[in-house]
Amino acid sequence: MIEIHELTKRYGGRVALDRASFRCEPGTVTGFLGPNGAGKSTLMRILVGLATATSGSATIGGRPYQDIANPGTRVGLLLDASAQHAGRTGREVLAMSALQLGLPRARVDEVLATVGLTAVESRQRIRGYSLGMRQRLGLAHALLGSPSVLILDEPANGLDPAGIRWMRDLLRRYAAEGGTVLISSHLLTEVEAVADCFVLIGDGRILAQGTKMDLLGNGRIGLEELYMRVTAESQRDHHQIGSVA
């Protein structure tokens, strides 16, 4: 379970996260949505200890990420598929992490098969990978330690339609087996298809959150409509505050 409680992050005078709170339950996929610069990536980085919060807390399974022993075996991460050494092969990246996590080498072949990278592709250097292949590698990397929590930042970017379909099935299956998934994306129709819960964020504040049923009124409105409505309201509020000040 992921729990974000009153999480605030300031960079100098700029507020990147403003008392954000939400939780992701086991067995669900949570779609984390919002415009660019709304604070999604900042929140995810704080959640996994790559950045520190100004105040508030972010825990996974009741603990701060830094306190989880061998966290790669509990939490699978894909924060940026292009953040890999271009001169290494895909297989080498996975083999290195398997070594660090203390996993048998056979696990590398297993996750490569799961994400559909062929043996030939896995031996090529990442420099030559398409964005879709990098995403698959990133997902393989996230799945390596058989974690019970997945945190994925824009994992569907660059995937072809078959890839998107495959990812949706994978995440659904993963949640059905009791896993917790937090996924950020701009592909709203895709998120609508895969997620059970949504968290909408704008200017560092949580604008709306809830189950698909609650937020979309059992299908009366679409996710895109909800998103546009909520983010537009937030912008209007913001401008009003600005003009008053």
* C-alpha to C-alpha distance for 177 and 26, rounded to whole angstroms: 9
Q: Is 57 in the site for another protein (CB under 8 A)?
A: no
Q: Which is nearer to another protein, 81 or 191 (CB)?
A: 81
Locate 138 and state its tokens. Answer: 């990133």
Show contacts with another protein in window 133-152 (CB under 8 A): 141
Q: Which of 37, 55, 57, 86 binds another protein (CB under 8 A)?
A: 86
* C-alpha to C-alpha distance for 11 and 53, rounded to whole angstroms: 10
* C-alpha to C-alpha distance for 217 and 33, rounded to whole angstroms: 18
Q: Which of 12, 13, 62, 104 binds another protein (CB under 8 A)?
A: 104
**Closest listed residue to residue 22, CA positions, set 58, 72, 48, 64:** 58
Beta strands in the chain (DSSP E): 2-11, 14-24, 29-33, 55-60, 75-78, 149-153, 180-184, 197-202, 205-211
Q: Which of 17, 33, 58, 79 binds another protein (CB under 8 A)?
A: 79
- Interface segment toward another protein; rule CB under 8 A; list 96-104, 158-166, 201-209, 231-239: 96-104
Q: Is 51 in the site for another protein (CB under 8 A)?
A: yes
Interface residues toward another protein, by CB under 8 A: 45, 48-52, 65-66, 68, 70-72, 77, 79-80, 82-88, 92-93, 96-97, 99-105, 125, 141
